[in-house]
Chain A
Amino acid sequence: MRLTGIPIHYAWRNLLTRRLTTLLTAGGMALVVFVFATVLMMRAGLEQTLKSTGLPENVVAIRKGAQTEVQSGVSRPEAAIIESDRNVALDGLGRRLVSKESVVLISLNKRRTGQPSNVVVRGTTPVGLALRPQVVLESGRMFRPGTSEIIVGHAIADGFSGVQIGSTLRFARRDWLVVGIFDAGKTGFSSEVWGDAEQMMQAFRRSNFSAVIFQMQAPQAFDELKARLEGDQRLTTEFKRETQFYEDQSHAMSTFISVLGLVLSMVFSIGAIIGAMITMYAAVANRVGEIGTLRALGFRRKSILVAFLGESLLLSLLGGIIGLVLASFMQLFTVSTMNFQTFSELAFSFTLTPGIVIASLLFALVMGFTGGFLPAVQAARLKIVDSLRAG
């Protein structure tokens, strides 16, 4: 009977024998996997926030060349022309589903640090709320058009001081009463303050809107709509699907997080791989006698190689699982920072997806494989006679 592979039991028992070493090596790997997973979770959270902000049947119109609503200006005549387009949807009562909005930034103090941060104030209309079914009033009521009432997003209510229902915010030389808090899930709207468009424009002394958002009657005819309206000589606006618009706004931030995080993970993984290598080389050196015995018993070189590689992989898997468990606690936190592109406040959370779990475990296994390969090869190449004599 030919003896085949060494059972995985061998690798596992060996790991248990030297607990401190196993713990330290796995601990190092766990930290690396933690950083890796956290970065991926951050990017996924950011993407989820900005991608889900927006519906594909909505169109956002801003001035040509402007990248964000804050930089843009759409005059009243232009807004009227856009409103009268034949591809604009009508609601049940025959009213056009168009919201002409004015977007500005104000400075509010964060609750945790007391430092100022730029917050988006969006002057909108009841139609604007209808165009965004992801936005739901969780407490209080909608502001009354024509008054100085405002509603604030969930993230603003949590992260900034002085914005509960019934309190007033002072900006543009007016006191604005907070009458409601809305929940927009994980979308970017959660970091905004909404009020009546005409009131906002008067307060900030603007005569132009910032953007026009409308729903298409025939969403599949978007390209035709875009060509028609961008070719119109009276308009200086460009048109994007709402989903595309918000996706473009996250581009710089998302790239920054990805590049920074992945570079860091790669560099850290070098440290962890070196740790694994040191551990495995020591393991081989200490078990020279055992290896000779196993060879003498009939186990082939390949089995020795696989056994040691398996031990290394098991070690890294352990580290990977610990790292993932630690990283999953990050889901309790929310990141509140400034989006470079829009210059305004953005709150998003860490999102753990099955893809991230698999990627992190694979990363751990690759580290284990890279660290354990050379020592395993060294173990496999030992001559039976020499190792029996040394052990």
Chain B
Amino acid sequence: MLAFLLKMAFKNALRHRLRAILTLAGLTVAILAYGLLSTFVSAWYAGADAASDKRLVTRSAISLVFALPISYRDRIRAVDGVTSVSWSNWFGGVYIDERNFFPQFAVDMPTYLPLYSEFVITPEERAALLHDRRGCVVGAKLAARFGWKLGDTIPMKGTIYPGTWPLTIRAIYHGRDERTNEDQMLFHWDYLNERIKQIYPKRGDSAGVFVVGLKDASEAALVSERIDSQFRNSLAETLTETEKAFQLSFVAMTDTIILAIKVVSYVVILIIMAVMANTMAMAARERTAEYATLKALGFGPPIVGWLILFESILVCLIGGGFGILLTFPLVRVIGHALSSVLPTFNMGEHTSLEQAIASVLVALVAAAIPAWRSMQVRIVEGLRAVA
């Protein structure tokens, strides 16, 4: 019986070849669009996903715009549960044109690189980097984007720290896993500090944020509180949180946009539901006489319902399947195109599953009313019906 139903459903689906092709095309596009939008949303959270649970970020309690005195370094290191302390300043420079945006940080290399073990650098390059005060290390994706090689001098135009800053690429790092950001440039905080003290002495000896290494990841909240209590009621109060919370706070600031994109991805499923429902309704109406005949032959109403349902599921699974398959190469292509805006553009773990669920849902909803109507049709009226 099942084999019969499936065969009938398959043959019915292919009856109108043009209609079948159009429906499949529509489904493919819709499922593909849903997949791309979901990927977009998960790319937004990429920073938070790549965060390590063994690192804390300490920033000024007022906002990220205020720096902390470098003297806090030793006091943080002395806190119970802290293994190492490093610091980083957002440089925010421009490479030729503002559109070539990528993040640049001035960091304390000797302590920063060990904390970020997911940045893989060969020992020779690391030694060269540590030796050259004006050296910098760039991610592999960033180097590929601009065609940079080892030894190139990159002139960065400062915005927060005025002037032109020539940095020589001494190392190129690769991310240990797929989620690691390979789109940034790191250079020596000492170089930044030296120069800035010459122009604006009062702005020197300050760190943007401190990055703190934890001995035990479960102690994150406890150590955060210990660090913050050290500096309470001082001239520069701190706020310490896990790296993940820190990254998520950026996402939270643009959460309206994320919400809008999520809503839009559901709208596309609704659109294709409408199209699919329309197709199934038309198909069912055209075959009213056939369903009446089946009933006259003795098949029960459920059989009619199952036929329509199977046809709908078959078409949706094939179309959805194409959509899911096409998502993979398209994500790669778009990732390249958007590398300046979204450094990591990878599919989320659940995206393919969500796409499959969406396909099945569309199939069920689209087939519901037509199946119900067709099951109810009275044999005599059905045989008399003109589409």
Name A residues whose Cβ lies closer than 8 Å to a Cβ of B.
20-21, 24-25, 27-28, 31-32, 34-35, 63-67, 70-71, 73, 104-107, 113, 115-118, 171-173, 204-205, 207, 236, 256, 260, 264, 267-268, 270-272, 274-275, 277-279, 281-282, 285-286, 335-338, 340, 343, 345
Contact = CB atoms under 8 A, between A and B. Distances in A.
Contacts of B92: 71
Interface in B31-62: 33, 37, 61-62
Residue with the highest number of chain A CB atoms closer than 10 Å, among B62, B92, B98:
B62
Given A34-B267, A172-B62, 12 more contacts: A65-B158, A67-B159, A71-B92, A105-B63, A113-B255, A173-B233, A268-B268, A271-B272, A274-B26, A278-B26, A278-B282, A337-B255
Contact of A25 (B255, B264, B272, B278): B278
B147 interface: no
Given A104-B65, A204-B66, A271-B26, A113 B252 contact: yes
B253 interface: yes
A264 B264 contact: yes
Nearest to A236: B162
B33 A267 contact: yes
A65 B163 CA distance: 8
B387 interface: yes
16 contacts: A20-B278, A20-B281, A25-B278, A28-B274, A31-B267, A34-B267, A65-B157, A65-B162, A113-B255, A118-B64, A264-B264, A267-B33, A270-B29, A271-B272, A274-B275, A282-B286
Nearest to A276: B275
Interface of B: prevailing SS? helix
Interface in B58-92: 61-66, 92
A274 B282 contact: no
B23 interface: yes
Contact of A336 (B233, B256, B267, B279): B256
Residue with the highest number of chain B CB atoms closer than 10 Å, among A28, A171, A281:
A28
A315 B369 CA distance: 22
A337 B278 contact: no
Given A21-B282, A115-B249, A118-B253, A278 B275 contact: yes
A64 B163 CA distance: 10
B109 to A, nearest CB: 25
Residue with the highest number of chain B CB atoms closer than 10 Å, among A64, A277, A282:
A282
Interface of B: 16, 18-19, 22-23, 25-26, 29-30, 33, 37, 61-66, 92, 98, 157-160, 162, 200, 202, 233, 235, 237, 249, 252-257, 261, 264, 267-268, 270-272, 274-275, 277-279, 281-282, 286, 341, 369, 387
B253 A338 contact: yes
Contacts of A270: 26, 29
B162 A106 contact: no
A84 to B, nearest CB: 24
B29 A267 contact: yes
Nearest to B268: A268
Given A71-B159, A104-B66, A337-B254, A278 B30 contact: no
Contact of A268 (B200, B237, B271): B271
A254 B25 CA distance: 32
Contacts of B253: 115-118, 337-338, 345
A20 B331 CA distance: 37
A21 B278 contact: yes
A35 B65 contact: no
B367 to A, nearest CB: 13
Contacts of B278: 20-21, 24-25, 28, 275, 278-279
A31 B270 contact: yes
Nearest to A27: B274
B252 A116 contact: yes
A42 B200 CA distance: 41
A73 B158 CA distance: 13
A67 B101 CA distance: 14
Given A32-B271, A271-B30, A275-B278, A105 B64 contact: yes
B63 A271 contact: no
Contacts of A31: 267, 270-271, 274
A236 B163 CA distance: 11
Contacts of A20: 278, 281, 369
